[in-house]
Amino acid sequence: MDSVLAVLLWRDGAEHGAAGRKGRTDPVREMIPLEEARALVCGAVEKLPVETVELLDAVGRVVAADQTSDIDVAPFAHSAMDGFALRAAEIAEATEEAPATLRVIAEIGAGDVFEGTIDDGECVRIMTGACLPADADAVVKYEIVGVVEGDGKPGSVVSFAAPTKVGSNIRAAGEEAHAGDVVVEAGDVLTAAGVGFLAGCGVLEVPVYRRPRVAVIATGSELVPPSEVPGPGKIRNSNSYAMAACAREAGAEAVMLPIVQDTFEALRDAVAAAAREYDLVVTTGGAANGDFDFIKPVVAELGELMMTTVNIRPGKAQTFGMVEGTPVFGLPGNPAAAYVGFQLLIRPALRTMQGYRFMDHPVVKARLTADEKNRDPRRIYLRANLTRTAEGYEVTPAKNQSSGLFGPIQKTNCLAVMPEGTAPQPAGSIVDCLLLDIPEEVVL
Ligand SMILES: Nc1nc2c(c(=O)[nH]1)N[C@H]1C(S)=C(S)[C@@H](COP(=O)(O)OP(=O)(O)OC[C@H]3O[C@@H](n4cnc5c(N)ncnc54)[C@H](O)[C@@H]3O)O[C@H]1N2
Ligand code: MOO
């Protein structure tokens, strides 16, 4: 299609399309609630294919199939303490006044196996992790054992001033898993401890959902690479770095593609090429309705435009569509607007593609420390600092809430949510605070 025609058709549709649709929201023509936008993007993307990776590379990722242990874990009953292995019945009558005494007949460390028998009146000196002798049913730690003769090593006589229970200080064979048991289920996020657990179960390769490959494209004729000192009218392209960092934090692999000038053709060609090569495309800038804002008509021409504006501030201009099966997101150019849009919409999409079950950032309720005069009917995400006092959580919004800044996001630790509507929130109001640096799996 002729590029000018494409843009004009888009603008015409944008102005007139909503007419006659009373009672129904059209996500392409109208501003939609965040929840609707999230459902739309998460419903449009699919889990990526499964790949098998080396165990260590699976940390933090979603396991795609049940994993089983090849052995019992622990493989054998063993001592949980350095001490003496014995039959509990031998010291059942022991008291401080009349201790039971046993002869030490052997010493075993971790890795050793005692093949002999323990007869009446005998015990075995045993170290933590050593295999429990077949005749023993308890271990008494050395701190509460007296030495009557010798040095406590084989040939010595040791005394016990109290009875012990059968099974004390013994870790049973198969305590954690039996051979063939499912030890990590499909859909679980593998933690660092889970990596250790699987290593013990002999699982050294793990099927996980492939990391999405994300293309980040900054659009704007004012942009220069951050390696340059900007000349008159120019600014550094900081969005590409931030969006690539957000993508990495969300588990994706991100590539920053070259800056695209503000023309329909340049953006169309860049998005089309990226959509062919990557799993997800993120652009920043050119998402509003200015004379040089082209992401909406570009997506409409290349594929299906599915959404254009979301009821949030910052970040109202949120373009989303599918181009030949690839999700394309057009974030606004303002840094804080792009960041909030990424966290609230693209991150859930990337997590869906990787099989994660939890999509919501942890939220805590906190008391506002200052009046918030609300003049915007959108739901507002204030960059803010959450602290804990003796009275509970308090939240203080950053002084500068300009959507043009990354700095206040770097210096704060949450997004404080002002609900839709223009009602002011006086100091003392209880508001939700989104904790973006805490994984979605954490329940607070
Ligand atoms: N008439 C109206 N104008 C604007 C409105 C509006 O409602 N009516 N909304 C404003 C808001 S809010 C936003 S957000 C922006 C969104 O528009 P765009 O996505 O088209 O953003 P741009 O105009 O391209 O850029 C906005 C701002 O951000 C700077 N920018 C852009 N790219 C980068 C980058 N890669 N790194 C750093 N900074 C970047 C750009 O220079 C502009 O200053 O529209 C408003 N206008
Ligand atoms: O879409 Mo704009 O912030 O509201 O930054």
Q: Which of 16-20, 286-290, 299-303 has the highest mean pLDDT?
A: 299-303
pLDDT value of residue 11: 63
Instruction: Retrieve residue 327's tokens.
Output: 């999700």
Considering only residues 374 and 411, tell me which one the structure prediction assigns the higher pLDDT: 411
Q: Which numbered atom of ligand 2 lies nearest the CA of 287?
A: 1
pLDDT value of residue 29: 84
Q: Tell me if 368 sits within 8 A of 380, measured CB to CB.
A: no
Distance CA 107, CA 173 (A): 21
**DSSP E strands, 188-311:** 205-209, 213-218, 223-224, 235-236, 253-256, 280-284, 304-310
Residue owning tokens 């949450």: 414
pLDDT of 133 above 70: yes
All structural domains of the chain, each given as residue ranges with its CATH number in brackets, are 3-47+211-353 (3.40.980.10), 50-73+184-209 (3.90.105.10), 78-171 (2.170.190.11), 363-434 (2.40.340.10)
| Sheet containing strand 280-284, strands side by side | 31-32, 304-310, 317-323, 326-331, 280-284, 213-218, 253-256
Q: Which numbered atom of ligand 1 lies nearest the CA of 289?
A: 20
Residue 90: strand, helix, or coil: helix
**Model pTM score:** 0.92
pLDDT tens-place string over residues 223-238: 999 999 999 999 999 9
Which residues make beta-bridge pairs with 304? 322
Best mutation site among 34, 289, 308, 316 for ligand 2 pocket (most ligand atoms within 8 Å of CB): 316
CB atoms under 10 Å from CB of 139, counted, come to 28
CB atoms under 10 Å from CB of 288, counted, come to 19
Our answer on whether the CB atom of 319 is closer than 6 Å to any ligand 1 atom is no
| Mean pLDDT of all residues in 264-272 | 98
Enumerate residues 6+ apart whose C-beta is below 8 A from 258.
270
Residue of 99, 183, 170, 160 lying closest to 133 (CA atoms): 170
| Mean pLDDT of all residues in 172-191 | 97
Our answer on whether the CB atom of 222 is closer than 6 Å to any ligand 1 atom is yes
ipTM of this predicted complex?
Answer: 0.97
Q: Which numbered atom of ligand 1 lies nearest the CA of 240?
A: 35
- What's the DSSP call for residue 49? P
Hey, whose CA ends up nearest to atom 25 of ligand 1? 333
| Mean pLDDT of all residues in 299-316 | 97
Q: Which residues line ligand 2 (CB under 6 A)?
A: 313-317, 332, 334, 337, 403
What is the pLDDT of the chain when averaged over all its residues?
A: 95
